[in-house]
Structure 1
Amino acid sequence: MDTWQLPVSFALLVFVSSYFKLFSNVLAGFILGIFVTNLNYYMFYQISWQNLVIEKPVKIVATVSQFIKSGERPYIQVKIESIDTFQVSVWQTVNANLSVGKHSMPLREGDKIAGIAKLKAFRSRKNFHTFDSELFAFQNHIYFKGKVEIERHDRKERAWQTSYRHYISSVFQKYELSWLYYTLLTGDKTKTPKIDKEHFRMLGLSHLLAISGLHIAIFFSLSFILLKVLLIPVQSFLKQDANIHTFGVLCALISAGLYVTVSGMQISAQRAWLMALIGVVCYLLGTRISFFRLILYALTVIILASPFSLLNMGLYFSFVAVSCILWFVSKQNRAAGEPLKWLDKLVWLIKVQLLIFVFLFPLTIFAFQGVSISGLALNIVVIPLLSCVIFPAILLQSAIFHVFDVSAISLLDTWLFEAYRWLLNLNFHWLDIAPITVRQLFAIMLIIVLLSNPLTRFYSLIPIIATSLHWWLSPKPHWQINIFDVGHGSAVLVEHNGKGFLYDLGASYFGTYSMFKHVVVPYIKANNIELIYTIVSHDDGDHAGGLKDLNFLGYRDTLRAFHREEYSQPCLLKAIELGSLTIQSIWPGQLQGNDNNSSCVVMVSDGEFKLLLPGDIETDIESQIVAQYEAHLNASFLLAPHHGSRTSSSAQFIEQVDAELAIFSRSYNTPWRLPHSDVVRRYHHFGYKTYDTALDGQVQIRIFKQHFEVYTARNAKNLWFLR
């Protein structure tokens, strides 16, 4: 929220409340919301000494909570107890992600360590349509990252939750789908391979990996049924006034609560258990409660306890899905007066799945820029299978494993794994859809809600017409430039009429994580861009690191226009049309003395606005290019050469280009201290406005016929608690 919006909203509510008493409740809720949010932030999230312990050696005492990467030099997450003289308050959680130096004794979760650490405030790259690591870190109380040299290591007995997870892991370790069974019983997704998370997303089954209302309902029902069965032999010995049904409901509620606890107290699980609690209380008191109040009470408790849970998309998925189910059931109960047949139950299940699919459709597009087209059909089969077969089977296996060394689910595991492989081979699951804004999401949800009620269907025309007019009247950019935040390196995508030209691929780390695959490709897919041409300026790792993934992911042909049939450097000097844009490579013609000076220099132009991409050329090459092209070198936008190094960006070059904007593509807080302060002053001296991907995140320039607009990823999600 911008700084002016809060006081203006408050003033408007005060004014309206003075004339309409109804709005006084809204004003009271508004004030309560601000108070609760600020209280929660300053009690549980604010650390006054954070900036006093970074960028210097500090003494640290912490407990190992998680292994992010194992090995000789592991990367771990720790829960900090103290840093130097600063003690963490008992009501706060302060986590840090640390790389560990050589250490003789292997670490395990729960161990207490002490040593010397060098910490940095947690900060990540920021791009449109990619995972927001900083928001994730805030939600999980991760304040620092860095490295630690361990001086003292105390082996501790595993905490009960760690012991439980270790036991469940040992129960299922030999099965093909061990990660799935482990996740279902613990809520811990660290053992789930990334590729399988992606497969479940494409299949529309991601909700199975997050403990939610479905899991709580299954656990509650199984606990209730099991208890009733166990009490059958002793029913004749119980007093006549003993209410076995009530006892079973209470035990099932407690059992479900234990499941929520061991699964990590996930928001979706808390919500489901709260609803179950409210329902059980109302049942015991003989009170009827509408589904709307049930949802409202549970949501109120969660928000009061943790207002920042509103930042978790899972909360919205969870509440929308449960609201659909409760609304549908409430409507059916009024019409149905006799027991349902199996066919009727199947029809109900199909209708509920269809209802959930429709209401979650816009949320899925907003969160994932696409939707699973197979999820609707799969869930009709998978949910009963999970409820009636998989969950009871893995619970049974967990219960008997400690006593009997029996593989009770071997055959089931084989069948499930083969079915999983068969589904993946069908390869028609996911449909990419262009992203939508928060306003568009709200409008679509409002339209769906209005259409669902015959009395309000006519009024759905209002948001439909308003949204259509807004889309129709909003000016569309003629072309667009995206300078991605890829750390130290560069990756620039020019898009025009659904087609794209990519300049550089960013770096690749450890041979497994490339910026091209994890930053550029998600953007291309989210916006349905067809990549036509790719230029790799030169073969330095921070520019060509994604070359392997470019070839592997099917974009190899995009290199041919400028890099020949078989990729080679330097680039060919030529001009190619991309719609109404001209892409012209103007340097080097032949290899120079080093890779930097052999960078492919490219000019992209629509006849009115120009973009100059110079790679890592240095001052002597800048002078040659200025002498060769003179006024033809003038541009509107300039990617600063060599990330703002003082070996580039000469005064002569900056003056000759005479652009309006210069963008530094670099990493935050690196040893090279880029961009150099002299270079920044030089650009400002010649009237440039500068942007910096390390500070601004992805820089997006939208170019219209007579003007351009600049948007940055950090400003797009400018949350006050992350500033």
Structure 2
Amino acid sequence: MMLRMTSMAVGIALISLFSQLPPLALVLPILLSAVCLWLWRCYWLACFLAGACWGLFYGHQIVNSQLPVQWQQELLWVEGEVVGLPELSVSRGQPVSRFKLALSQAVCHRGAECHDGLKLLRLNWYQGLAIVPGQRWRLQVTLKRPYGMANPGGFDYQSWLIQQGIGGVGRVVEHPLNQQTGHNTGSVDYWRWQMAKKIDLVRPALQHKHLIKALLIGDKRGISRQQWELFAATGVTHLLVISGLHIGLVSALVFSLLRYPLLLLMPSQPAERWAALLALVCATAYALAAGFTLPTQRALIMIAVVMLRLVYRRHMAAGQGLIAALLGCLLHDPLAPISLSFWLSFAAVACLLYGGVGRYPVATVTAKLLSAQCLVFIGLLPVLAILLGQLSYISPLANILLVPLFSVVIVPANFIAALLSRLDLSLMLWRLVDILLACTMDYLTALFTFTEANRFYIASRPWPVMCLALIGVLLLLLPKGVPVKHYALLLLLPLIFYQQPKLPKGDLRLAVLDVGQGLSMVINTRNHTLVYDLGPEFSETFDTATAVVVPYLRYHGINSVDLLVLSHGDNDHAGGWQRFVSQIETRRLLYGEKPVAEFFMGGFCSAKAWQWDQVEFEFLQAINGQALSNSNNRSCVLKITVGESSFLLPGDIETSMELALVQRYGALLNADILIAPHHGSISSSSWPFVKTVSPDAVVVSSGYRNQFGHPHPSILDRYRALDMTTYSTSQAGALTFFVRNGKVSAPESFREQFQRYWLEGGD
């Protein structure tokens, strides 16, 4: 049975690795083949094909649930119900409501062609209207397909959107016929919203009510960016929001509390069965209260396997139960393997099961907790290094104290207070929870101070190093007395101390990162790193400097930069620079104009040249008083020359400055690769400038279907007319150029390297 379940799980997961889906017509032949193999008693292969069949069918449903490409940015009318908890925030000084709309009917384009596969939208409404869960709306919208930035080391936002079932993202267009058509006050999300509102109004004195709401109903809207960073750095994110741990805790608590009373009240009835059923019901209710997110759904499936085993009194080995839960999760969500929480959840449980085999039972509760924490910390060591790229040595110190505190006191007290919310006792319990959460935050803050200096970042490792680390962990978790266990640490050393090979002298790596509507590049020589621009800051909680550039540097094992160049002060080039310099050691900073009035470091990028590892760098500058009155024209223009190849980085300069540079430098502007000025705007890339530079290729860094229409079609036609190859970060993701032996090669596209079937259809 275990082999059959494993085979089916592998068949489902394998489809998620495909870059393109086989035709849907293959489902029936594959299914018939599986039936024939089953009749021939080749059970494991039949299960494998059945799993692949389900993965293939689900994949086509995912593709069909996305907005048709030709409907993007068209005016559409949609009708549906608000689900989840809407957010009201400020973006670039403008109030915006962000919410999800579950469509109640097919979407039609211009009243003719209709698409019934689209089920869920993620919308922004810049009117600042307070949206309430359960409201039914008829709205005019413009949409784009789910899309996200694609960079090495970065978060795959596009895959996350698709896994959530979101088929389109966009904004509400103001129209007099936009109207609310009803309100479903019986929805779970409306109850969650009411509970959150009640806690805000009735318990305003609670200092950490936002954390109380996060633990009670999965409302994470009040958690600040600084707090998220604190939780991540100390490894306790799973404790401060509803996770599989909390749902498992609730089910175990209910089962333990009901088992013996039921046995006394109903001695002739199977009390264990009833306790297990009630525990499963409570776990389901708690998962619903958390918004029934994918991580809580996976936890519920794992709990259901355990509880149903008790209900039906079927013996099941621990490993078999884990595989059954794994298969259940994949049947429910075949794209689960692309989720980080999926791997962390099952890896943690597997570590506890594998590490506990053949060991003597631990006597005290404290010893059990210590043992469990050690097993999970050791077992997840390579998983965290591979998936997250960092290790925090103090995570066990945080969890060893907080796991029992949350398990035994905070979560149960919070839950009971909610049930007794109409009584005075609830206020006493919530005050207790608030005090304990305050102590928790103080404790984490103290640990965080230590963590900042002792966090260990793991750069990208080759697969042999990662395999050795996994084998080493398996050996470390073996019982005492196994001779080879002592040599396991040697297998972990490459993971910790491996250094990525340096570029040879005279070679260069230049990466144009995908930062949406903005610009950021990282240039590496053998011993030096230059960062040119950081992309935009979208809000107080998100900027590409920390979401894209910093992860890229960590991915390549770079913890400091020799020079940061901010071409000019516009947000799409210098956004989030303060957060960047606080996380990455920046030895020098140059800029075209001061990003802020009060500046503590750096200077202007005046015309000068220098050399790093046989690579020539030079700032180009032309004096034109009228042109320099424009912020874009004050951009730092950088030329990089290595051997026979050269790159020109002109920032956002416009036609007047381009002509001034042509007049001053002439043929010296010639370069093999040109970064399109001002993202391909109509105000740049003048004929004289482009012909003088005469590049073989042009890279346009712009946002996917951005509101400015960059790159402008006439500019693209100009590049084509001059026989220049054009690349776009919105289509290719991060583009990486290598110069080896003085010659530049065609760029590597991140999207092409990591293409998956659900990412098809972008243009």
- Counterpart mapping for 1:215-254 below 5 A: 215-228=246-259, 235=264, 238=265, 240-254=267-281
Q: Which residue of 1 aligns with 2:125?
A: 99
**What's the offset of the Cα at 1:552?**
6.7
User: Is 1:308 the equivalent of 2:335?
Assistant: yes
User: CA offset at residue 506 of structure 1?
Assistant: 2.7
Shift of 1:718: 0.9
One-letter amino acid of the counterpart of residue 277, structure 1: A
Note the 1:122-521 alignment, pairs <5 A: 122-144=146-168, 145-149=170-174, 151-166=178-193, 168-169=195-196, 170-171=198-199, 174-209=205-240, 211-228=242-259, 235=264, 238=265, 240-283=267-310, 285-332=312-359, 335-336=360-361, 340-342=362-364, 345-404=365-424, 406-426=427-447, 427-429=449-451, 431-436=455-460, 439=463, 441=466, 444-449=469-474, 452=477, 454=482, 478-497=507-526, 499-509=528-538, 513-521=542-550
- Secondary structure of the 1:505 match is coil
CA contact (8 A) 2:567 2:591 kept: no
Q: Write the distance in 2 (CA, Å) between the matches of 1:323 and 1:33.
A: 22
Amino acid at match of 1:55: Q
CA distance in 2, matches of 1:282, 1:650: 72
Secondary structure in structure 1 of the residue aligned to 2:153: coil
For residues 602 and 637 of structure 1, what CA distance do their matches in structure 2 show? 12
Match of residue 571 from structure 1: 605
Report the 3-state secondary structure (helix = DSSP H, G, I; strand = E; otherwise coil) of the residue aligned with 1:402. coil
1:558 aligns with 2:558: no
Distance 1:26 1:118, change over 3 A: same
Q: Does 1:62 align with 2:87?
A: no
**Which whole-Å CA distance do the structure 2 matches of 1:64 and 1:5 have between them?**
32
Whether 1:605 and 2:633 are equivalent positions in the alignment is: no
How many angstroms does 1:618 deviate by?
Answer: 3.8
Which secondary structure state, in structure 2, belongs to the residue aligned with residue 429 of structure 1?
Answer: helix
Name the counterpart of 2:51. 33
Task: Please report how far the alpha carbon of residue 354 of structure 1 lies from its aligned counterpart in structure 2 after TM superposition.
Answer: 1.7
Which structure 2 segments of 5+ residues have no match?
Answer: 1-16, 28-38
Q: Which amino acid aligns with 2:246?
A: H
- TM-score, length basis structure 1: 0.84
* 2:748 paired residue number: 711
Contact kept in structure 2, 1:572 and 1:589, CA below 8 Å: no
Instruction: Name the CA shift for 1:546/1:186 in 2 (closer, same or farther; >3 Å).
Output: closer
Rounded to whole Å, the distance in 2 between the matches of 1:416 and 1:69 is 25
1:629 Cα offset (Å): 3.3
CA distance in 1: counterparts of 2:45 and 2:565, whole angstroms: 56
Shift of 1:322: 0.8
Q: Which amino acid aligns with 1:507?
A: P
Deviation at 1:496, TM superposition (A): 3.1
CA RMSD across the alignment: 4.0
Partner of 2:732: 696
**One-letter code aligned to 1:288:** H
Say if 2:636 is the partner of 1:614: no
Sort the Cα spacing of 1:359 and 1:210 in 2 relative to 1 into closer, same or farther, 3 A. farther
CA distance, structure 1, for counterparts of residue 489 and residue 437 of structure 2: 46
**1:531 is matched with which residue?**
561
Q: In 1, distance between residues paired with 2:541 and 2:309?
A: 53
Q: Is the 8 A contact 1:43 1:92 kept in 2?
A: no
Q: Pick the aligned partner of 1:625 from 627, 649, 661.
A: 661
Work out the CA distance in 2 between the residues paired with 1:631 and 1:668.
34
CA shift in 2, pair 1:547/1:304, >3 Å: closer
**Does the 8 Å CA contact 2:66/2:146 hold for their aligned counterparts?**
no
Q: Which moved more, 1:288-297 or 1:396-405?
A: 396-405
Distance in 2 separating the partners of 1:297 and 1:281: 12
Give 1:722's aligned residue.
759
1:2 CA displacement: 6.5
Residue number among 130, 134, 143 corresponding to 1:119 in the alignment: 143
Counterpart residue type for residue 417 of structure 1: A
In structure 2, C-alpha distance between the alignment counterparts of 1:702 and 1:99, rounded to whole Å: 43
Task: Give the C-alpha shift of residue 620 in structure 1.
Answer: 5.1
Q: 2:654–2:683: 8 Å Cα contact kept in structure 1?
A: yes
The answer to whether the 8 A contact 2:100-2:120 is kept is no
Q: Distance in 2 between matches of 1:261 and 1:719?
A: 31
Segment of structure 1 superposing worse, 58-67 or 679-688 = 679-688
1:664 deviates by 1.0
Residue identity in the other structure for 1:161: V
Q: Give the superposition deviation at 1:100.
A: 4.8
Q: Spell out, residue by residue over 1:50-91, the C-alpha distance to the aligned partner (whole angstroms, 9 max, x if none).
A: 3464333222212122423357652332222233467776x9
Give the whole-Å Cα distance in 1 for the aligned partners of 2:159 and 2:758. 10
Q: 1:280, CA displacement in angstroms?
A: 3.6
- Please say which of residues 146-155 and 32-41 is displaced more in the overlay: 146-155
Distance 1:214 1:403, change over 3 A: same
SS, match of residue 588 in structure 1: coil
Matched AA of 1:489: G
State the secondary structure of the residue aligned to 2:427: coil
Cα distance in 2 between the residues matched to 1:501 and 1:200: 31
SS in 1 for 2:178: strand
For the residue of structure 2 that corresponds to 1:674, the secondary structure is coil
Residue 13 (structure 1) aligns with: none
Do the aligned partners of 1:397 and 1:409 also contact (CA within 8 Å) in 2? yes
Assess, with a 3 A threshold, how the Cα gap between structure 1 residues 721 and 592 changes in structure 2: closer, same or farther: same
Q: Displacement of 1:491 after TM fit?
A: 1.8
Partner SS state of residue 703, structure 1: strand
Percent identity over the alignment is 23
Secondary structure at the residue paired with 2:76?
strand
Q: Distance in 2 between matches of 1:545 and 1:471?
A: 31
Counterparts in 2 of 1:363 and 1:592: CA distance versus 1, 3 Å: farther
Distance 1:164 1:32, change over 3 A: same
SS of corresponding position for 2:173: strand
Unpaired stretches in structure 1, ≥5 consecutive residues: 11-20
Structure 2 letter corresponding to 1:482: A
Work out whether residues 390 and 456 of structure 2, in 8 Å CA contact, stay in contact via their aligned partners in 1.
yes
Give the distance between the partners of 1:279 and 1:568, measured in 2 at CA: 60
CA contact (8 A) 1:486 1:506 kept: yes
Amino acid at match of 1:413: D
In the TM superposition, what is the alpha-carbon distance from 1:695 to its structure 2 partner? 1.3
CA 92–445 in structure 1, closer or farther in 2 if over 3 Å, else same: farther
Q: State the distance in 1 between where 2:138 and 2:591 align.
A: 56
Q: Take 2:338 and 2:188, find their aligned partners in 1: how far apart are those partners?
A: 26
Give SS of 1:95's match. strand
C-alpha separation in 1, matches of 2:245 and 2:79: 40
Partner of residue 699, structure 2: 663
